[in-house]
Copies of this chain bind each other. A is one copy, B any other.
């Protein structure tokens, strides 16, 4: 249970690798060579592999952290305006995807399968979506025949729009909003 404390240089390098991997995955996506991250962090590839057994595990660590941030940010917002919570969440996620290729790919299943590799994060995320959806439906801003699974699908679509079409995707937010409103 208790992790044995790392030596000072090891702890420093681990933190450094995490920070650099964070930026690099965001810029380049899950497919950057591990050597590129090592180069940017000023360490050897071997050092990365001492802290993370595989490239995928490093990517997972980053994605898990990113998801945690999104969940936290959304929880704060959602309390303010129940009817807007789901929309704020959807569009925030799309914006995040714009500057974080790794996050977008994670949702699309590139580099990780969230459901099997990060089940807790996955469950928390699904719970959040279900809450926001129910809340919005209760407030009357979202039609009743939409379910959590549909929200996931929408996220994939929105992220793709953002990723491949950049800011042009913003113009579709009103369309999505209108489409989700009760008829």
A-to-B contact residues, CB < 8 Å: 108-109, 143, 146, 149-150, 152-154, 156-161, 164-165, 168-169, 171-172, 175-181, 183
Q: Which of B143, B160, B177 contacts A157 (CB 8 A)?
A: B160
Residues of B contacting A165 in the complex (Cβ-Cβ under 8 angstroms): 152-153, 156
A29 to chain B, nearest CB (A): 12
A178 CB to nearest chain B CB (Å): 5
In angstroms, how far is the closest chain B Cβ from the Cβ of A174? 8
Interfacial chain B residues near A109, Cβ < 8 Å: 164
Could you tell me the distance between the alpha carbons of A9 and B7 in the complex, rounded to whole angstroms? 68
User: Inside 8 A of A178's CB, which chain B residues have their CB?
Assistant: 178-179, 181, 183
Q: Assuming the A-B contacts A156-B164, A157-B157, are A150 and B171 also in contact, with contact meaning beta carbons closer than 8 angstroms in the complex?
A: yes
- Chain B residues with CB under 8 A of A143: 175
Supplied contacts A176-B179, A178-B178, 8 more A-B pairs, CB within 8 Å? A109-B164, A150-B172, A153-B165, A153-B169, A153-B172, A156-B165, A157-B169, A178-B179
- A181 (CB) vs chain B CBs: closest residue: B178
A159, B156: Cβ atoms closer than 8 Å: no
Report yes or no: A156 in contact with B161, Cβ–Cβ below 8 A: yes
Contact check, A172 vs B154: say whether CB atoms are below 8 A apart: yes
Report B-chain residues with C-beta under 8 Å of the C-beta of A158.
Answer: 157
Which 8 residue pairs spanning A and B have beta carbons closest together? A179-B179, A160-B160, A157-B157, A175-B179, A157-B161, A153-B165, A178-B179, A156-B164
Residue numbers in B under 8 Å from A154 (CB-CB) = 161, 172, 175
Q: In the complex, which residues of chain B have a beta carbon less than 8 angstroms from the beta carbon of A146? A: 175
Q: Which residues in B have their C-beta under 8 angstroms from that of A160?
A: 108, 156-157, 159-161
A129 CB to closest chain B CB, in angstroms? 14
